[in-house]
Amino acid sequence: MPARPRYPTDHQPVIDVRPALGRFDDFAVVVGTQRPDARGCWCMSYRDSRVPALERPGYMRAECAAEPGPGVLVYVDDVAAGWCSIAPRSSYRRLLNSRTIPVPDQPDTWAAVCFVVRGGYRKHGLMHRLLAGAVDHAAKHRAEAVEGYPVDTEDGRIDVISGYVGTVGLFERAGFERVKSTSSRSGGQPRWVMRKTLT
C-alpha cells in the first residue's frame, strides 16, 4: 500500500489555491469516501441534504463541471490537500431555510461554509490559504461580500469535525468582521455571522 501523502518537512513546498471547476477527481480525494458505495456528506449538507447519499458524487461532479464551481482546493506541491466550499449563498438550500443563521442584507453575498484539510496536512496554516483563496474566487465572480458562519472557540480548541465551519479567529485574521450572533452551535460552541465586503 502506498504511503499517504503528507506535508513535506524537508523543503519549502509550493502552495496554491485553485477553483474546483474541472477538478472533481481532486475534490473527491479530499472530500469523498474511499469506497464508492460508502455513505458520506460529499459537502452536500448545506447544498441539498435531500440528495441520496449514493447520488451525491454525481451531483458534485456536475457542480465541478459548471461555472463557477462549488469551491476551491489547496494544493501542496501539486497534491490536493484541502477544500473550502465557497459559492453564492443562494445556492445553499440549508442556509435559505435556516432558522438559526440570519439572511444577509446584501443579495450578492457568497458564503464559505465548509473546510476540509486532509490528515497529514493539518496544522500548517492551510485553512488560512483556503479562506484567502475562497475570497479571491468570489471576488473574481463579482460577489459583493463573502460571509462565513464560524464557531467562537474563545481561544480554546475544537475538534476537527466540529471545526469544519472554521473559527472566528480564522475569519478575523482574513479581514472579516462579526456581524451578528446566531443561535446555531458547532461542538457546543456558538457561531457568528462574519462578513467581508468586497465592493
- Which pLDDT tens digit goes with each residue over 85-111? 999 999 999 998 899 998 777 778 999
Average pLDDT over residues 9-38: 92
Reply yes or no on whether the pLDDT at 37 is more than 90.
no
Reply yes or no on whether the pLDDT at 1 is more than 60.
no
Strand order in the sheet with 71-76: 15-19, 71-76, 79-88, 109-117, 145-148, 189-197, 177-186
Q: Are 135 and 129 in contact (CB under 8 A)?
A: no
Q: Which domains does the chain have, with CATH numbers?
A: 15-197 (3.40.630.30)
pLDDT band at 155 (very low <50, low <70, confident <90, very high): low
Question: What percent of the chain shows pLDDT beyond 90?
Answer: 80
Q: Are 133 and 74 in contact (CB under 8 A)?
A: yes
The Cα 163–Cα 48 span in angstroms is 20
Q: Name the pTM for this structure.
A: 0.94
The Cα 52–Cα 37 span in angstroms is 12
Of 197, 187, 2, 184, whose CA–CA distance to 95 is shortest? 184
Average pLDDT over residues 174-189: 92
- pLDDT at site 2: 62
- pLDDT at site 121: 97
Mean pLDDT, the chain, integer? 92
| The 3-state secondary structure of 102-125, one letter per residue | CCCCCCCEEEEEEEEECCCCCCCC
Of 141, 88, 83, whose CA–CA distance to 110 is shortest? 88
- pLDDT at site 55: 93
Q: pLDDT: is 154 or 51 the higher one?
A: 51
The Cα 157–Cα 26 span in angstroms is 29
- pLDDT at site 162: 80
